[in-house]
Structure 1
Amino acid sequence: MFATTGIIQGNTVYVQDCVLDRYNGRKVIITVLDEDSGYDTIPNKQLFEISDSLITKNMKAYQELAK
């Protein structure tokens, strides 16, 4: 599993991570964050809480991806 961040413009997701080349052709799950403030720096504890929450909310999508 790999995680990165990016920005949606039109029908394209732009990321600044060249590591994605090795994942070419793989299925992905995209989670869109509803935020107006752009990028914020948050403490690791809060990041893990948000991450756990997103994983729980998207569990069905992750199970489908694993098939």
Structure 2
Amino acid sequence: MGNKRIKVTNETASGRNTNFHDNRQNKDMTRQQFVGEIEKGNYSNYHVRMINNVKTPVSNPDATRNNNLD
């Protein structure tokens, strides 16, 4: 299995992911920036959910673990 495209680089004490790194583009993003990129269609393996009234990036459900956020 190859490197994951997106890696979570920071989270709150409650477990909410706050910062992300795109390994292909060597690009760091905040949650808000990643949400914006997903909404623009730049990350097809991810979508946005409203969790506790906060837009939250999540990986699309599928059979692979390679795109899971962790």
Q: Which structure has more strand as a fraction of its residues?
A: 2
Q: Which structure has greater helix proportion?
A: 1
TM norm. shorter chain > 0.5: no
TM superposition score normalised by structure 1 = 0.22
> What is the TM-score normalised by the length of structure 2?
0.22
* Structure number with bigger Rg: 1
